[in-house]
Amino acid sequence: MSKYRLVLLRHGEGAWNKENRFCSWVDQKLSEEGVKEARDCGRLLKEQGYKFDLVFTSLLSRSIHTAWLVLEAMGQEWVPIVKSWRLNERHYGALIGLNRAEMALQHGEQKVKVWRRSYNISPPLIDESHPYYMEIYNDRRYATCDVPKENLPRAESLKEVLDRLLPYWNSTVVPEIQKGKTILISGHGNSCRAILKHLEGVSDEDIAGVTLPTGVPVQLELDENLKPVKPRQLLGDQAKIQAAIKKVEDQGKAKQAT
């Protein structure tokens, strides 16, 4: 029997999603399409009768803005939002800012797929010579974290995303779910994939095949032990969702960037 419902949402399309660049911890706003995706998501969830009690986001604007737009479209702007760096996107290290398709041309599609989708392989570390290093680590939001700024990641595998996310999940998110609250997590592709891996017990190999398009809510129905009682459900027009999944998967293919 289903006791709890949880919705995971990868934020709406960001400016660098549109440009097919590794965005990661660089703070990007939503694109026009991303704004539309978030509003459409909110309308869909309202039509399906969702009433959220609490929303969790990362510290990144695209995650927060998506949550705002979803709640606005639902007429639930009053619902509390809790933010944490532990829900941030995966830290892509030295790859941040680079175009995925150009990287596939230079290094091969398989190498880029490993960087993007593998479970326990990290990209090269970011260092102070990187053009976005100071923008990230001088950002005031990271002075609010529960770890010193010098202990924040410089690159992460998906495993390391799950490692930094799990303490927050167990200490902060799980107790709210167990109170019977309906929770929305407005996160990122990899923070949501990490949660799915944990809840569904997805293998290290199979997680590479889990793709979440932007702006598509994922419904999970959980039992009293927070184990799924049925497969995850991506809500919305299924043909459009499959097309969006293919678009995400094609981002790492070798083609000339425009």
Tell me the per-residue pLDDT of 68-93, one tens digit each, with 9 for 90 and over: 999 999 999 999 999 999 999 999 99
The reply to whether 89 belongs to the active site is yes
Please report, rounded to a whole number, the percentage of residues in the chain having pLDDT higher than 90: 80
Please state the residue numbers annotated as binding site for substrate.
Answer: 10-17, 62, 89-92, 116-117, 189-190
pTM of the model: 0.92
Please give the DSSP secondary-structure letter assigned to residue 11. Answer: P
Tell me what the mean pLDDT of segment 221-250 comes to: 91
The reply to whether 160 belongs to the active site is no
Answer whether residue 202 is part of any domain: yes
pLDDT tens, position by position, 141-155: 999 999 999 999 999
Return all residues near 63 (Cβ < 8 A) that are at least 6 apart: 11, 57, 87, 186, 187, 188
Does the pLDDT value for residue 257 go beyond 70? no
The number of folded domains in the chain is 1
Report residue 253's pLDDT band, with 50, 70 and 90 as the boundaries. Answer: low
Tell me what the mean pLDDT of segment 11-22 comes to: 89
Instruction: Domain of residue 107: give its range.
Output: 4-251
Rounded to whole angstroms, the Cα distance separating 75 from 98 reads: 38
Answer whether residue 257 is part of any domain: no
Return all residues near 176 (Cβ < 8 A) that are at least 6 apart: 53, 54, 183
The catalytic residue among 11, 65, 130, 188 is: 11
> Which pLDDT value is given to residue 248?
78
Answer whether residue 209 is part of any domain: yes
Return all residues near 195 (Cβ < 8 A) that are at least 6 apart: 8, 165, 169, 185, 187
Please state the residue numbers annotated as binding site.
Answer: 10-17, 62, 89-92, 116-117, 189-190
Answer whether residue 144 is part of any domain: yes
The CATH number linked to 87 is 3.40.50.1240
- What the block records as the tokens of 146 is 């529960």
Determine contact, residues 223/6, Cβ cutoff 8 Å: no
Answer whether residue 216 is part of any domain: yes
Answer whether residue 256 is part of any domain: no
* Helix or strand holding residue 81 (H, E): strand 81-83
The catalytic residue among 37, 89, 156, 188 is: 89
**Of the listed ranges 90-99, 112-121, 200-209, 239-248, the one predicted with least confidence:** 112-121
Tell me what the mean pLDDT of segment 198-222 comes to: 96
- What the block records as the tokens of 103 is 């990287």
Average pLDDT across the chain, whole number:
92
Tell me what the mean pLDDT of segment 116-138 comes to: 92
What single letter denotes the amino acid at residue 205?
Answer: E
